[in-house]
Structure 1
Amino acid sequence: MISYLIIDDEHIAHDIIKGYCDLLPNMQLMKNCYDALEAFDYLSKNKVDLIFLDLNMPVLKGFEFLKILQNPPKVIVTTAYQEFALEGYEYNISDYLLKPFGFERFLKAVNKAIGSVNQKVVTNEKSEGSNRIFVQSNKKHIQLETENILYIEATGNYTKIITTTETITIREKFSTFLEQLPKNDFVQVHKSFAVAPKQINSIEGNIIFISNYQIPIGKMFKINILKLLR
């Protein structure tokens, strides 16, 4: 379960963010905070995994709040002011959402943040686990464990995700989706294919065999295969 906090002085912003989060599994709202001081008091006694943070708030601005916050959780900034984007990344925020934002853009931001949260949990507990991401297919939002992905394939403006149990097609560019996946767990082997190395059964010539599938190796990506074989 991903616990989160909304910090924004506008009630409608709370409604939009909570409405989007309610569409996703495993997202739990802990508190609605309407200024940074209220959030600071809550976080001094409680922990959350993720904060949705507005910047232009009374008394204490968003970045000023981050400066005084010790060991902050993952942060997704939500603001109408694009000019603060570069400054925001100095605070190692997960993503920067410019209001008004739609659900698809919101989903990408949550994917990035949740991936980081899950990895942190795995590292701290020193136990096995996997990153999880949300994908949208046929108006349905599906949560995937990335360790179950065999490979991904570009098909125009769509991407096919082939897992151990099913094939899912999403309306997202191959390169964009590949960026959301854990970098060390997937390798691009062709302009239209990326594979999970741990799923490879064998490599013969310019063909990778994974389960019952055959994936071509592109000339420009042979160096990636050589690195795997070392």
Structure 2
Amino acid sequence: MEKIKCIAIDDEPFALEILSEDIGKVPFLELKGKFSSPILVKDNLDNIDLIFLDIQMPNISGIHFLRNLENPPMVIFTTAFHQYAMDGFDLKVIDYLLKPIPYERFLQAVEHARELFELRLQRQKKEKHFLVVYSEYKQIKVFSEDIVYIEGLKDYVKIYLHNQPKPILTRLNLKGILEKLPQNQFSRVHNSFIVSMTQIQSFQKNFIFLQNGQQIPVGAKFLKGFFEKIKQI
């Protein structure tokens, strides 16, 4: 199965280390980072599926942090305090683990997370993703699976589709259209290009070769993110 990418947040070093070790024992979990404070997380939630989150921490509590996330991933609270259980229920967290956390109880929580993760993956596969763009004075429905690559032209983008020689030209920028696309299926590889990961035939350090023969340059600042997504395919 596809691994559940997770991070751990806890201000107690020993607790964070124990939690990291427990995560490492589970084959379907992949620890992408551990943090002593939610403040340090910043932009590290991209492509994260699960957060192990302590509650009582200096500067900002886990509850406050979670309430302020616009589209939070799955969350398992890890805390020494039982009185926040109702908050966890209100915030729809996966589970509520009390420290010290028995490994068997930890496994029970992550198994619940795996069931939900697999259910979401199945639902995503059944539902075809699409976006609606305005072009040539009309609204056009574009299925993401039909997109080969996208080229940015300042305030416009060209969307290149399968079996359609003429691209769709619409008034958007690359950042804006990338936010509308499934993050695991597309990667921005250059200041001027987004590619569909399923359309990649081969790649070198500086170039990607698509199945239709198109050659796309890869910018140095996008290399790391691109390689991370390649590993997930």
Amino acid at match of 2:29: M
Runs of 4 or more consecutive aligned structure 1 residues displaced over 2 Å after TM superposition: none
State the match for 1:114 in structure 2: 114
**Structure 2: which 5+ residue stretches go unaligned?**
128-233
How far residue 91 of structure 1 moved from its aligned partner, in angstroms, is 0.2
How far residue 37 of structure 1 moved from its aligned partner, in angstroms, is 1.3
What secondary structure is seen at the aligned counterpart in 2 of 1:31? Answer: strand
How far residue 101 of structure 1 moved from its aligned partner, in angstroms, is 1.1
How far residue 121 of structure 1 moved from its aligned partner, in angstroms, is 1.3
Please tell me whether residue 55 in structure 1 is matched to residue 31 in structure 2.
no
* CA deviation vs aligned residue, 1:93-134 (integer Å, no higher than 9, x gap): 00000001110000000011111111111111228xxxxxxx
* CA deviation vs aligned residue, 1:163-211 (integer Å, no higher than 9, x gap): xxxxxxxxxxxxxxxxxxxxxxxxxxxxxxxxxxxxxxxxxxxxxxxxx
Contact 1:40/1:69 (<8 A) preserved: no
Contact 2:50/2:76 (<8 A) preserved: yes
* Cα distance between partner residues in 1 of 2:123 and 2:24: 28
* Cα distance between partner residues in 2 of 1:42 and 1:109: 23
How far residue 86 of structure 1 moved from its aligned partner, in angstroms, is 1.1
Written as runs of structure 1 = structure 2, the 5 A alignment for 1:71-90 is: 71-90=71-90
* Cα distance between partner residues in 1 of 2:42 and 2:60: 10
What secondary structure is seen at the aligned counterpart in 2 of 1:60? Answer: coil
Identity of aligned residues (%): 38
How far residue 31 of structure 1 moved from its aligned partner, in angstroms, is 0.7
What secondary structure is seen at the aligned counterpart in 1 of 2:44? Answer: helix
Amino acid at match of 2:101: F
Written as runs of structure 1 = structure 2, the 5 A alignment for 1:90-169 is: 90-126=90-126
What secondary structure is seen at the aligned counterpart in 1 of 2:42? Answer: helix
* Cα distance between partner residues in 1 of 2:120 and 2:89: 19
* CA deviation vs aligned residue, 1:203-226 (integer Å, no higher than 9, x gap): xxxxxxxxxxxxxxxxxxxxxxxx
Aligned CA RMSD, in angstroms, stands at 1.3
TM-score, normalised relative to structure 1: 0.52
What secondary structure is seen at the aligned counterpart in 2 of 1:41? Answer: coil
* Cα distance between partner residues in 2 of 1:9 and 1:37: 11
Amino acid at match of 2:37: D
State the match for 1:39 in structure 2: 41
State the match for 1:26 in structure 2: 28
Amino acid at match of 2:125: E
Aligned pair count reads 125
What secondary structure is seen at the aligned counterpart in 2 of 1:3? Answer: strand
* Cα distance between partner residues in 1 of 2:38 and 2:65: 6
How far residue 29 of structure 1 moved from its aligned partner, in angstroms, is 0.6
Amino acid at match of 2:95: D
Contact 1:55/1:61 (<8 A) preserved: yes
* Cα distance between partner residues in 2 of 1:92 and 1:20: 23
* Cα distance between partner residues in 2 of 1:64 and 1:58: 12
How far residue 71 of structure 1 moved from its aligned partner, in angstroms, is 1.0
What secondary structure is seen at the aligned counterpart in 2 of 1:52? Answer: strand
* Cα distance between partner residues in 2 of 1:17 and 1:89: 22
**Structure 1: which 5+ residue stretches go unaligned?**
128-230
* CA deviation vs aligned residue, 1:22-41 (integer Å, no higher than 9, x gap): 22112111011111111233
State the match for 2:196 in structure 1: none
